[in-house]
Amino acid sequence: MVALGSFLMSRTLLRAVLLSLALALPVSNAFAAVDPNIFPGRDPGFSKKVELLLRDADKAFRANDKPEAVRLLSLASSLEPTNFYLLARLAEAQNLSGNFSAALDRLQRARQLGAPTDVVLGPTLDAMISMGQNQRVLDLFPDPGTKTNYEAGLILRARAGAFQALGQGEAANAAMKRSLSILNDYYGIMTSARIALMQGNFAGADSQADAALKLKPGDIDARMLKVDLVLLKQNFVVARQMADKLLADNPNSASAMLMRTKVYVVSDRPDVVEPEVDRLLAASPDLMIARYFKAMIVGQRGDIKGAWDIVQGLPKEYLQADPAMTLNVANMAIGAGYVDSGATILTVAVQRFPFLLEPRLQLADIRLRQKSPQYALNTLTILRDSNDPRVLVLFARAYQLKGDTKTAQKYILQTIEAGGGEELRNMDKDVALRSLGDYAAIHPSNSLVRKQYALLLLSFGELAKAQSAYEQLVREDPSDAVSLNNLSWLVVKDDPRRALSLAQRAVRAEPSSANYLDTLGSMQMNQTDFKAAVASLRKARDLARDNATISYHLALALEGAGERAQSQALLQALVKRGGFGDLDAAKALLASKLKMAGQTQSTR
């Protein structure tokens, strides 16, 4: 009744989840170097017409209509073409819209017209860092030394962001500390909070966000950062509550709405927010972040080509401003079959964010699939001392492809000894199974390796051998929940009663596991004990309410137990939500139920 394949891995890999948590919001920017008001305390002496245009531009910004704001500021600048304040204001607007090259052009013109450093410096640093010109920032804006003026504070703040982007955390923290000693303003505190967040210093980021809120009570950006912290801890329920409250408190804020969108997309409930994204796109079809989120939602439904079609028209500058966005778009391109485009995007990500591991790993994997082992090794060069099993396997694959089996075996051995035997699934089947099997035979007391070998057999489709391996593991440890669960699926065809018993033992070993309860419910359905299956699957659903597969299994159990109205309501909600593996089966079952209901009514 339930397809074979719902096996559990012995390790939980959260890489993709953690990357998706970093979905970008509108550029603010990540390491904002200056207050957006570029002429505080000054009276630039605008004409009446320009003042009206500036007022309308501010209204457009508040409505999140950045294209309109840029248009109005461009018009204002054309009326006073030598007014460097207007050029700088236009540049800041272009920064916020993601058009960083145009912003730098305007700022260069403003400098030529005599703009003071404190007017153009902040927007210039923002644009350069957003474009990934981190080393250039460090080269062109050296350490200000003992200076403690406004300019020194901004330069140190930008250098902190550049150091962090280049993976130099200690240097980033030192520069940020010095910057805050000069400019301990809201924007500096938020930059410090974001750096702490990127370094995994959640307590520090939370503390800085609280400090920012003291300066600006109720500030949306600071509250969004606190939501990000909860997301990174994968506390999705609390994150949704915080995002819902943020939007309720700021109903007219596009940023608050997009933050809520981000939360629901990351927590695998894009169906909740898709109508809001569609409304936003209807009102502002050129809003880049809305188009990006729409692509993410379409991709989560399984339409990768449709997602790529939506996102590929966005400016490269914008897509490359955030590493997570860059990676997500690259995955869309690759998933849609445009591997070369994906590789090009990943190459940019590797160059701009050299400290990030994931883009480098994916690019190396593409080069290996393209039969280019030397290009893969070039990509991996800076990781030569890594003990990460994913990196080691890529080295092994590269040398295997080059015909250097001795070096390949060296990296395979390092992979196993680093606890990453599962990663060998990415290698040639015979090489992977032989290598891990031989190691397990030489080290029979290493239970982790033997579990990984059983899982590897399973992933390569060697079901009989996998069953034999799991039988041995269960004999040695009768409370090994993973082995009990996986063995249950392996024996269900030939011995469904034993499969049920194994699933029951797995649940007794770990009663709070939604996955084991799902397996138990499936085995109970297989024995036509639908009442018991409903009880098990309801417990599973309570533990993992957003798991669409578990909800679908519950709908099947309810149908079998005669609770057809509840089953239909659950199926309708699942079909509306979409984006899960059993969607087609759910649609077919719902269609048959609705057809049957129609026929019943027509006979009355």
Domain boundaries, the chain: 231-355
Distance CA 519, CA 234 (A): 24
CA-to-CA separations, 175 to 31, 119, 145, 195, 212, in angstroms, rounded: 13, 22, 11, 11, 19
**CA neighbor of 359 nearest in space, from 323, 386, 385:** 323
* Contact status, residue 376 vs residue 368, Cβ threshold 8 Å: yes
Residues 466-518: tens digit of each pLDDT: 999 999 999 999 999 999 999 999 999 999 999 999 999 999 999 999 999 99
For residue 23, the model assigns a pLDDT of 36
**CA neighbor of 30 nearest in space, from 273, 353, 331:** 353
What is the per-residue burial (b if ≥16 Cβ within 10 Å, else e) of 241-254?
A: ebbeebbeebeebb
- Range scoring the smallest mean pLDDT among 19-28, 197-206, 450-459, 493-502: 19-28
Sign of the Cα pseudo-torsion (225, 226, 232, 235, in order): negative
User: Taking the model in full, what pTM does it have?
Assistant: 0.74
Distance CA 127, CA 117 (A): 15
**CA neighbor of 73 nearest in space, from 112, 32, 117, 106:** 106
Mean pLDDT value of segment 224-248: 92
pLDDT band at residue 603 under the 50/70/90 scheme: very low
Residues 531-568: tens digit of each pLDDT: 999 999 999 999 988 899 999 999 999 999 999 999 99
- Range scoring the smallest mean pLDDT among 36-45, 219-228, 251-260: 36-45
pLDDT top residue among 349 and 141: 141
* Contact status, residue 70 vs residue 92, Cβ threshold 8 Å: no
What percentage of the chain reaches a pLDDT higher than 70? 91
* Contact status, residue 123 vs residue 34, Cβ threshold 8 Å: yes
**CA neighbor of 242 nearest in space, from 224, 262, 254:** 224
**CA neighbor of 19 nearest in space, from 307, 266, 281, 274:** 266
Q: Enter the CATH code of domain 231-355.
A: 1.25.40.10
Phi, psi of 146 (to 5 degrees): -90, 0
Mean pLDDT value of segment 577-596: 82
Residues 139-181: tens digit of each pLDDT: 999 999 999 999 999 999 999 999 988 888 899 999 999 999 9
For residue 302, the model assigns a pLDDT of 83
CA-to-CA separations, 485 to 129, 308, 457, 494, 555, in angstroms, rounded: 49, 37, 16, 16, 22
State yes or no: pLDDT of 100 exceeds 80. yes
Long-range contacts of 235-241 (CB under 8 A, 24+ apart): 236/263, 236/266, 236/267, 236/546, 239/263, 239/266, 239/267, 240/264, 240/267
Residues 112-138: tens digit of each pLDDT: 999 988 889 989 998 888 887 889 999
Q: Annotate 253-308 with DSSP letters as a single string.
A: -HHHHHHHHHHHHHTT-HHHHHHHHHHHHHH-TT-HHHHHHHHHHHHHTT-HHHHH
Q: Which two tokens stand for residue 395?
A: 């080295």
For residue 232, the model assigns a pLDDT of 86
pLDDT band at residue 22 under the 50/70/90 scheme: very low
Distance CA 207, CA 214 (A): 11
Distance CA 138, CA 158 (A): 9
Distance CA 485, CA 127 (A): 53
For residue 597, the model assigns a pLDDT of 57
HEC secondary structure over 525-580? HHCCCHHHHHHHHHHHHHHCCCCHHHHHHHHHHHHHCCCHHHHHHHHHHHHHHCCC
The one-letter code for the residue type at 116 is: P
pLDDT top residue among 252 and 340: 340
Kindly report the number of other CB atoms within 10 A of residue 365's CB atom. Answer: 19
pLDDT band at residue 381 under the 50/70/90 scheme: very high
State yes or no: pLDDT of 8 exceeds 60. no
